Homo-oligomer: A and B are copies of this chain.
Amino acid sequence: MKTIKLGIAGLGHVGCGLIELVNLQAALRLPGRVEISGVSARTKTRNRRVDTSSYHWFDDAAALAADPDIDVFVELIGGSDGPAKLAVEAALRAGKPVVTANKALIAMHGSGLEKLAQANDVDLMFEAAVAGGVPIVRVLRDSLSGISVQRVTGILNGTCNYLTTQMLETGRSYGEVLDEAQRLGYAEADPTLDVSGMDAAHKAAILASIAFTADLDFDKVSVRGVDTIELLDLVLADRLGLRIKLITEGLATKAGIICRIAPMALPLHHPLAQVDGALNTVRVEGDPLGAVTLTGPGAGAGPTASAVMGDVAKLFTPTARSPFGRAAHHKVRQFVAADQTERSAFFLRVKLADRPGALASLTEALAAHGVSVDKLLQDSADDTGAAPVAIVSHVCSRGDIDAAAAKVAALNTIIGAPQVIPIDLAY
């Protein structure tokens, strides 16, 4: 396939984000061309941020799923049952690959849908269902198929992590922070799925099923949320050196696979303890790897749509993919050398001879090349009479700092070579 025609069911935030991404595909690295053939949603008339009038409209998602004009069915309806499940089943039965962001559907019916997909020899892909833009599904399934997984832990609900982070940082109650999160759009109007732990549980169960080649049996998953966590708990735990977070865990035991979601108290040096705010993170531990951690945006239209697109990209069928991921239609770009006009702040360190005027001669040399000082720290001279000076410059060009450093190096008040290191102020 050099062109893939999508049928997209569900035109909420993620659906509209996907259409925007299809429209911008020249900036992506897809192996071929993606087109949208048909769309479906609950209501046709609703005002959406993208124009869908040029796509074939289907009132019934299952009819779209089986439409001969589409190559791939993209399910963004949501919900574990109802139209989403019917449509996905219809697509698989019609021999169409399915790409879905629906964690509830896969968690509740993944085993059955897997059998249906295999019986029809088509792909069922759900990278976007777990941790949004963090590509953990395919990493765990494919890239890490050469390790024996012991444990998969994670922070898989950004809303819960945001709530507990904000409560501790601002000293406000669960209710106050939840109200604010709802106003800011970080929490749903009905936050139950998130705060009860159920959303994280869906994702964790999917990961455990992949990691341990286990039949996904959601009834065995133990689920506790953050809705009983009080500010007091976070504060007292903090004073005891512990950070309370909603943690998901999949664990291989002799009895079988344990999957649970619960608030856990983490020592500050724990690898998940410092993941704050709305981020998602997944940590896979296994032999002979050790552990790998992936962190990124777990939700949102853009990250989720890009994960859907990554799945679609895998459905193009040149047998051997270009090693560097380049397709024939890609405009190949060139490496260029970094140049001297590039601007940055710099860390400049010199050793000054311990005599009058040494510091003045340094700052004059800098000023002569337009390098101005943001911070300066001079320490006492050491036994050899060398006084270390460190400077954080204001933003200047690489050319200016290099010229200034060359001038400084030539001063007879300077010992040894100046050290020039760019500062990454992008964060």
Contact, CB under 8 Å: B214 / A271? no
**A:252-309 near B, CB below 8 Å:** 252-253, 255-260, 262-267, 269-271, 274, 287-297, 300-303, 305-309
Q: Which residues of B contact A338 (CB under 8 A)?
A: 222, 258, 260
What are 30 A-to-B residue pairs whose CB atoms are below 8 Å? Answer: A28-B145, A28-B147, A110-B323, A113-B323, A121-B319, A127-B143, A133-B290, A135-B143, A138-B138, A138-B142, A138-B143, A146-B305, A147-B306, A215-B335, A216-B324, A229-B419, A230-B349, A230-B419, A232-B388, A233-B419, A237-B349, A240-B390, A242-B392, A255-B339, A257-B334, A265-B422, A265-B423, A274-B274, A292-B295, A292-B296
In the complex, what's the smallest C-beta–C-beta distance from A23 to chain B, in angstroms?
12
Is A144's CB under 8 angstroms from B324's CB? no
Most chain B CB atoms below 10 A, which of A24, A29, A144, A302: A29
Please report the C-alpha to C-alpha distance between residue A336 and residue B146 in the assembled complex, in whole angstroms.
25
Known: A113-B323, A297-B290. A347 touches B244 (CB 8 A): yes
**Residues on the B chain within 8 Å of A324, using CB:** 110, 114, 141, 209-210, 213, 216
Q: Which residue of B lies closest to A260 (CB)?
A: B338
Tell me the smallest distance from the CB of A315 to a CB of chain B, in Å.
10
Identify which of residues 175-230 in chain A touch chain B, using a CB-to-CB cut-off of 8 Å.
205, 208-210, 212-218, 220-222, 228-230
The reply to whether the CB of A355 lies closer than 8 angstroms to some CB of chain B is: no
A326 interface residue per 8 A CB criterion: yes
Q: Does A360 contact B (CB under 8 A)?
A: no
Q: Are B335 and A257 touching (Cβ within 8 A)? A: yes
- Give min CB distance, A210 to chain B, whole Å: 5
Question: Assuming A143-B307, A244-B347, A290-B300, what are 9 further A-B pairs, CB within 8 angstroms?
Answer: A114-B324, A133-B292, A208-B335, A210-B324, A214-B332, A233-B419, A236-B388, A293-B293, A294-B294
Residues in B whose Cβ lies below 8 Å from that of A133: 289-290, 292
Chain B residues contacting A228 (CB-CB under 8 Å) are 417, 419
Shortest A133–chain B CB gap in Å is 5
**Of B222, B233, B292, B309, the contact of A146 (CB 8 Å cutoff):** B309
Answer whether A323 and B145 are a contact pair too, CB < 8 Å, given A29-B213, A215-B335, A388-B236. Answer: no
Q: Is A148 an interface residue (CB 8 A)?
A: yes
Could you say which residues of chain B place their CB within 8 Å of the CB of A66?
A: none
Bound state CA distance, A228 and B418, in angstroms? 10
Report whether A333 and B288 are in contact in the complex, using a CB–CB cutoff of 8 Å: no
Digit string of A240-253 for contact with B (CB within 8 Å is 1, else 0)?
10101001000011
Q: For A274, what are the chain B residues with a Cβ–Cβ distance below 8 Å? A: 274
Q: Which residue of B lies closest to A422 (CB)?
A: B264
Question: Do A320 and B117 have beta carbons less than 8 Å apart?
Answer: yes
Identity of the chain B residue whose Cβ is nearest the Cβ of A138 in the assembled complex: B143
- Cβ-defined contact, B144 with A335, below 8 A: no
A233: min CB distance to chain B, Å: 5
Chain B residues whose C-beta falls within 8 Å of the C-beta of A321 in the assembled complex: 123, 141-142
* Cβ of A375 under 8 Å from chain B: yes
Check if A232 sits within 8 Å of B349, measured CB to CB: yes
A266 — nearest CB in chain B belongs to which residue? B424
Partner of A213, one of B146, B218, B331: B331
The verdict on A125 contacting chain B, using a C-beta distance below 8 Å, is yes
* Residues of chain B lying within 8 A (CB to CB) of residue A403: none
How many Å lie between the Cα of A252 and that of B113 in the bound state? Answer: 41
Q: Which residues of B contact A210 (CB under 8 A)?
A: 324-325
Q: Cβ of A145 and Cβ of B309 under 8 Å apart?
A: yes
Answer yes or no: A314 CB below 8 A from chain B CBs.
yes
Chain B min CB distance to A412 (Å) = 21
Nearest CB to that of A25 among chain B residues?
Answer: B146
Chain B residues in 8 Å Cβ range of A339: 255
CB distance from A58 to the nearest CB of B (A): 24
